[in-house]
Amino acid sequence: MLLPFDEFDIILGMDWLTLHDAIINSKRKTIDLRCQNDEINRIEYNDLNGLPAVISLMLARKYVRKGCKAFFAYVLDSKVTERKIESVPIVCEYPDVFPKELLGLPPIQEVEFGIELMPRMTPISIASYRMAPTELKELKAQLQKLTDRGFVQLSFSPWGAPMLFVKKKNGTMRMSIDYRQLNKMTINNKYPLPWIDDLFDQLKRVIVFLKIDLRSGYYQLRVKDSDVPKTTFRTRLTNALAVFTDLMNRIFRQYLDRFVVVFIDDIFIYSRDETEHAEHLRLVLQTLRAK
């Protein structure tokens, strides 16, 4: 892959290093090369401030399509401890924006989740799936918890979708509603989801960034009152992704493409330095508090 390595005079490949029996010492940052008279020529590297050449994701994809080889490496500094929320002073000023649990329905926003059906569709009701005794016990507990918070209420609607449990990595059970039949008769929302490539390009040359993952994003998307009878639980129905993305983009409209990237229920705040990042984070948290 051709890259603009302007800071290097020459790049030695693995074939050349093998041919000349090069000895590389990563700790000392030296390379020993054996000359024809068997003398050792040591090359030391002392410049630790050199910046690597960086290209955009779209340009890299272009090179790969032309046949260039690309390698992906995830580097993690094991000596760096993960920062907790208490270590970010600005975040500590907004404890109400970071509740441990959602305690009730969200306020009415300018965007509501509606279920618009295709013409001449009638209510559908599908029998429940069979459950093991342990699943029935878990169902009762989760329903009680959702009812106490106001997310679920008793309904006599002619609509009905089956429910099932999905086991999570930590062993707990996630309750999920099978709305596939309802989705088939729902008109798709045309609001476009953002391109991942474009979002990554915005983060190019960024020094400081922070990600906010909205807690239970789909529970923060209110269903239109007229469409509540079509569903018993508020979950991943058709159009939920598009409507929620529309809502987030409206809330953060003035900050998008400046220092905020929104992808569904994830909010990225990026800045050129820590001072600027503190101000950007404060603006985002003030917006979340207001909404």
**Domain range list for the chain:** 1-55, 96-291
Predicted confidence at residue 237, as pLDDT, reads 41
Predicted confidence at residue 283, as pLDDT, reads 92
Predicted confidence at residue 235, as pLDDT, reads 34
Predicted confidence at residue 70, as pLDDT, reads 84
Predicted confidence at residue 80, as pLDDT, reads 67
- Residue 267: Cβ within 10 Å count: 21
SS3 182: helix
Please identify, in words, the CATH class of the domain defined by 96-291. Answer: alpha beta
pLDDT per residue of the chain (291 residues) written in tens, 0 to 9? 556 666 566 777 888 888 878 888 888 888 888 877 778 888 887 655 555 667 888 888 888 889 888 887 777 777 767 667 677 788 888 888 877 777 777 777 777 788 888 898 888 888 777 878 888 888 888 888 888 787 777 676 788 888 888 888 888 888 888 888 888 888 887 777 778 888 778 877 788 878 887 777 666 777 887 887 776 553 334 555 666 777 888 888 888 888 998 887 788 899 988 889 999 999 999 998 887
Predicted confidence at residue 52, as pLDDT, reads 61
Please, which residues have CB within 8 angstroms of residue 62's CB and are 6 or more apart in sequence?
A: none
**Tokens 């239109």 found at:** 224
Q: How many CA atoms lie within 13 A of 228 on its CB side?
A: 12
Distance, in Å, from the CA atom of 104 to the CA atom of 45, rounded to the nearest integer, reads 60
The DSSP element (H or E) to which 245 belongs, if any, is helix 240-251
Predicted confidence at residue 239, as pLDDT, reads 58
Predicted confidence at residue 7, as pLDDT, reads 59
DSSP letters spanning 128-171: PPP--HHHHHHHHHHHHHHHHTTS------S-B--EEEEE-TTS
